[in-house]
């Protein structure tokens, strides 16, 4: 009898232990309750659970709270809208991070008067030997004054500090001190661009991207960089946190000019190795040196391979996707709508073909910058020729921008298995486009609905930071309203759910991750944002003012503000101390 009682006791203890262990295994890491949860797959729900970096359960408060355990973090969304984490299909975040602390951002600035005052204030604190620089993310049409700054205004505002202001890749403004610092004078040769001269033949400071933007690049890279690894790391973290502030959880890096691999990736790689990336960074490699593009890709294909499907199923926050957006300088058609469309050189095809052939043989995707239909037509000729030759061919590729693409070339892309990544460049230069090409053409610049109707994979991004702003809600506003940042309606807008799809589930295709991210759905990576306002209900003019009050990447809280501030990381000041980021931040709300 005694043996029987002992056996029963041990059996009950074992069952109890198993039940407790089983409950622990099932308990969620995070539960979001009392929310307006949007999922492309499941519609609207009230709550969801996260476990091991993945969405674990979606449903009502009662259903999801069943997964509460001793260590579960319960977060009350208080009725706020929760969406899948935003994915930017084309920006330049790694390069931007290395420069962020040096830049005065006019993103979101309401008036030129305010912008000039920011320059005045920053010039006073900028030490000797350093520059004040405003690089991209703004349009004169966003200002109340609806105009560019004058050189006289910029000279007055910057005082005795060198200043460089760049408007997209269209024109740049150097103050007198900047001209003197760089040694630009009547004897200076300016290949790849034009410089306005005064009556004495001296440069005034106005730089024109005509026929290319080379002069703008050259001037930009001549200014001092951050001094050391500590400053670069600090700058990179702060820029990535700024992206998190708007609910961006993946930023697909399209490379960039004046930017080299692997040297300029070292900070991003370091943060990845430390599991400290607040955003995921799938990246493409951009050939930076004209005339040496093939050699660059030959070197890189021996060094590194794209992430495998198996690796992507487990999420690799920092991984190679392929080559682009610049494959060869001969194929670059700059999007300066203030000037006429450039004709690509006659040798474009012979330059591009061996590079594509090399990428295909090594199972690299490619993406290519192509603004104009004429350029896209010639690129597709090369792609089709390689397919006819019967060698290795990619399962997917990307045409970037495509503002003037024709229905004929859309059908060719569809047949070849390609996708199109659009950016809200028209939000910043729609007025320039209309002045040159007319309002009728602007209605389909780019032809978003035609692309969707054909079933071509379509994703959306910003092309930040030297062109558009990095704020994804400016892009979302453009897609929904069809308006520029200056308020000019140039195209019909999209339904809000579809516009969101292009920066979530639809965007995941462009990093080959559509099976594991882009939605709030069981088993997918737990990337999401709790929004400051209800994207689905507010007037469209307020969409561009949305922020995230809490952003989660791979199940980790990377941003918190307002009621959720305690969940986010500690405040980090920019270094050097005089950095504009310490005084103005990034996007100007």
Residue extents of the structural domains in the chain? 2-82, 93-225, 230-518
Tokens of 231: 């400053």
3-state helix, strand, coil in the chain (%, to 5): 40, 20, 40
Interior angle at CA 419, CA 358 and CA 337, nearest 5: 95
Longest dimension (CA), the chain: 114
Is 299's pLDDT higher than 50? yes
Which residues lie across from 208 on neighbouring strands?
171, 194
Host H or E run for residue 131:
none
Confidence category of residue 211, pLDDT binned at 50, 70, 90: confident
Question: Rg of the Cα trace of the chain?
Answer: 25
Please, where are the H alpha helices in 417-536? 425-437, 439-442, 448-453, 472-481, 496-501, 505-508
Confidence category of residue 24, pLDDT binned at 50, 70, 90: low
**CA atoms in the 13 A half-sphere facing the CB of 268:** 28
CA–CA separation, 491 and 440 (whole Å): 9
pTM above 0.85, yes or no: yes
- Taking the alpha carbons at both ends of the chain, their separation in whole angstroms is 77
> Considering the chain, what is the average pLDDT of its residues?
95
DSSP state of 561: -
Confidence category of residue 395, pLDDT binned at 50, 70, 90: very high
Question: Average pLDDT for residues 481-500, to the nearest whole number?
Answer: 98
Q: Write down the pLDDT at residue 19.
A: 52
Percent pLDDT > 70 in the chain is 96
Confidence category of residue 10, pLDDT binned at 50, 70, 90: very low
Is 130's pLDDT higher than 50? yes
Is 569's pLDDT higher than 70? yes
Backbone angles phi, psi at 204, to 5 degrees: -80, -25
Is 12's pLDDT higher than 50? no
Q: Which CATH superfamily is domain 230-518 in?
A: Metal-dependent hydrolases (3.20.20.140)
Percent pLDDT > 90 in the chain is 90
Give the C-alpha distances (Å, rounded to integers) separating 565 from 19, 33, 73, 257.
Answer: 36, 18, 15, 37
Question: Average pLDDT for residues 253-263, to the nearest whole number?
Answer: 92
> Could you say which of 1.20.120.430, 1.10.8.80, 3.90.25.10, 2.30.40.10 is the CATH number of the domain covering 2-82?
2.30.40.10
Confidence category of residue 17, pLDDT binned at 50, 70, 90: very low
CA–CA separation, 589 and 14 (whole Å): 59
186 compared with 62, residue with greater pLDDT:
62
Q: Residue 509: which of 117, 90, 213, 170 has the closest Cα?
A: 90
**Residue pair 355/327 in contact by the 8 Å Cβ criterion:** yes
Give the C-alpha distances (Å, rounded to integers) separating 120 from 128, 153, 163, 347, 552.
Answer: 15, 10, 11, 47, 37
Question: Average pLDDT for residues 357-386, to the nearest whole number?
Answer: 98
Q: Write down the pLDDT at residue 102.
A: 99
**Residue pair 46/37 in contact by the 8 Å Cβ criterion:** yes
Is 160's pLDDT higher than 50? yes
Q: What is the pLDDT of residues 217-245, one digit of tens each?
A: 999 999 999 999 999 999 999 999 999 99
Is 189's pLDDT higher than 90? no
Q: Write down the pLDDT at residue 21.
A: 54
Cis ω on the peptide bond leading into residue 446 (within 30° of 0)? Answer: yes
CA–CA separation, 17 and 23 (whole Å): 10
Q: Residue 45: CB partners within 8 Å, gap ≥ 6?
A: 35, 37, 39, 58, 59, 60
CA–CA separation, 235 and 264 (whole Å): 13
CA–CA separation, 584 and 561 (whole Å): 17
Q: Residue 586: which of 136, 88, 105, 92 has the closest Cα?
A: 105
């Amino acid at each position: 009898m005694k043996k029987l009682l002992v056996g029963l006791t041990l059996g009950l203890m074992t069952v109890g232990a198993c039940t407790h262990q089983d409950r622990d295994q099932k308990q969620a890491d995070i539960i979001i309750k009392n929310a307006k949860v949007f999922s492309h797959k499941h519609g609207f729900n009230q709550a969801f659970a996260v476990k091991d970096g993945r969405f674990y359960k979606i449903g009502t408060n009662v259903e999801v709270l069943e997964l509460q355990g001793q260590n579960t973090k319960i977060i009350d969304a208080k009725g706020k809208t929760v969406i899948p984490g935003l994915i930017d299909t084309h920006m330049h975040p790694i390069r931007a991070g290395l420069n962020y602390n040096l830049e005065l951002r006019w993103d979101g600035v309401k008036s030129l008067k305010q912008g000039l005052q920011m320059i005045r204030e920053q010039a006073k604190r900028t030490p000797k030997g350093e520059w004040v620089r405003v690089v991209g993310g703004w349009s004169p049409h966003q200002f109340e004054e609806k105009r560019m700054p004058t050189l006289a205004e910029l000279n007055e505002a910057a005082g005795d500090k060198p200043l460089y202001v760049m408007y997209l890749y269209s024109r740049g403004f150097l103050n007198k001190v900047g001209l003197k610092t760089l040694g630009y004078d009547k004897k200076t040769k300016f290949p790849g661009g034009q410089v306005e001269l005064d009556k004495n033949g001296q440069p005034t400071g106005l730089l024109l991207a005509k026929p290319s933007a080379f002069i703008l690049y050259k001037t930009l890279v001549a200014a001092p960089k951050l001094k050391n690894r500590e400053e670069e790391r600090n700058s990179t973290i702060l820029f990535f946190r700024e992206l998190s502030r708007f609910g961006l959880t993946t930023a697909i890096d399209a490379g960039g000019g004046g930017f080299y691999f692997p040297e300029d990736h070292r900070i991003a790689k370091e943060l990845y190795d430390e599991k400290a990336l607040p955003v995921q960074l799938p990246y493409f490699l951009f050939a930076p040196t004209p005339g040496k593009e093939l050699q660059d890709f030959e070197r890189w294909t021996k060094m590194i391979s794209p992430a495998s499907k198996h690796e992507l199923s487990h999420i690799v926050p920092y991984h190679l996707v392929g080559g682009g957006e610049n494959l060869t300088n001969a194929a670059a058609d700059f999007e300066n709508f203030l000037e006429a469309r450039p004709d690509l050189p006659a040798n474009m095809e012979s330059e591009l073909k061996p590079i594509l052939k090399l990428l295909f043989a090594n199972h690299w995707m490619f993406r290519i910058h192509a603004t104009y239909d004429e350029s896209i037509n010639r690129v597709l000729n090369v792609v089709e020729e390689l397919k006819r030759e019967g060698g290795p061919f990619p399962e997917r590729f990307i045409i970037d921008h495509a503002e003037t693409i024709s229905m004929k070339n859309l059908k060719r892309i569809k047949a070849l298995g390609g996708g199109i990544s659009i950016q809200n460049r028209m939000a910043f230069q729609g007025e320039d486009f209309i002045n040159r090409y007319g309002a009728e053409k602007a209605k389909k610049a780019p032809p978003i609905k035609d692309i969707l109707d054909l079933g071509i994979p379509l994703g959306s991004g910003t092309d930040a930071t030297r062109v558009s702003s990095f704020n994804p809600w400016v892009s979302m506003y453009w897609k929904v309203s069809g308006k520029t940042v200056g308020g000019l309606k140039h195209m019909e807008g999209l339904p809000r759910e579809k516009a969101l799809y292009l920066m979530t589930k639809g965007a995941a295709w462009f990093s080959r991750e559509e099976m594991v991210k882009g939605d709030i759905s069981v088993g997918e990576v737990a990337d999401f944002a709790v929004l400051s306002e209800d994207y689905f209900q507010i007037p469209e003019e307020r969409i561009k003012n949305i922020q995230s009050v809490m952003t989660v990447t791979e199940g980790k809280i990377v941003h918190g503000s307002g009621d959720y501030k305690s969940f986010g990381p500690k405040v980090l000041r920019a270094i050097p101390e005089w950095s504009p980021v310490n005084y103005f931040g990034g996007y100007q709300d």
